[in-house]
């Protein structure tokens, strides 16, 4: 059985002699309406970001420039992706613990999110995350 709570996918890449363009359109290339976008940059070497899960939020991660590693875990499955192309995204559904590390120099981590910022949507403790996913499985 394969993990279903995340998926790597390709965004359109429009190539011409003047350079490439990638379009991110909510509800079209990304399967939710985009309520928020943010980007992480100027990351000092060795930094580890994220280390949390979300209860409702859906997100797409991609590397606008440089590269970084995205580690994902849903309580049963885990997988890690090296993101290094501005046209390759990873869709992450709710209930997934994520850690981002291994940033190259000049890396820019771009994130598109389905909801506006809400601190109460975060699960910031790993033990709490494990209890949360266990309760979600029990509820099914």
Applying CB under 6 A, the residues found at the interface with ligand TYD are 36, 38, 40, 49-50, 117
15 vs 38 by CB, closer to ligand TYD: 38
Beta-strand pair 122-123/49-54: antiparallel
Would you state the structure tokens that stand for residue 47, as one six-digit string?
């930094």
Burial (CB < 10 A; 0-12, 13-18, 19+), residue 63, is buried
- For residues 42 and 94, the answer to whether their CB atoms sit within 8 Å is no
- Cα separation, 98 vs 71, whole angstroms: 6
Of 40 and 123, CB closest to ligand TYD: 40
Judge whether 137 counts as a catalytic residue. Answer: no
Q: Which is nearer to ligand TYD, 3 or 50 (CB)?
A: 50
State in angstroms the smallest separation of the CB of 79 from ligand TYD: 18
Looking only at the bridges linking them, the beta strands covering 19-22 and 13-16 are antiparallel
Nearest approach in angstroms of CB 125 to ligand TYD is 13
CB of 123 to ligand TYD, least distance (A): 12
List the catalytic residues: 52
């Amino acid at each position: 059985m394969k993990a279903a709570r995340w998926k790597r996918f390709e965004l359109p890449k429009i190539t011409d002699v003047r350079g490439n363009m990638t379009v991110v359109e909510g509800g079209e290339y990304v399967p939710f309406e985009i309520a928020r976008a943010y980007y992480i940059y100027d990351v000092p070497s060795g930094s580890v970001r994220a280390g949390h899960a979300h209860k409702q939020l859906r997100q797409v991660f991609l590397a606008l420039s440089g590269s970084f590693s995205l580690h994902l875990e849903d309580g049963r499955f885990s997988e890690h992706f090296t993101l290094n192309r501005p046209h390759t995204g990873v869709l992450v559904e709710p209930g997934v613990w994520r850690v981002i590390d291994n940033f190259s120099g000049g890396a820019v981590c771009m994130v598109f999110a389905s909801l506006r910022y809400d601190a109460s949507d975060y699960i910031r403790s790993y033990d709490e995350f494990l209890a949360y996913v266990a309760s979600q499985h029990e509820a099914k």
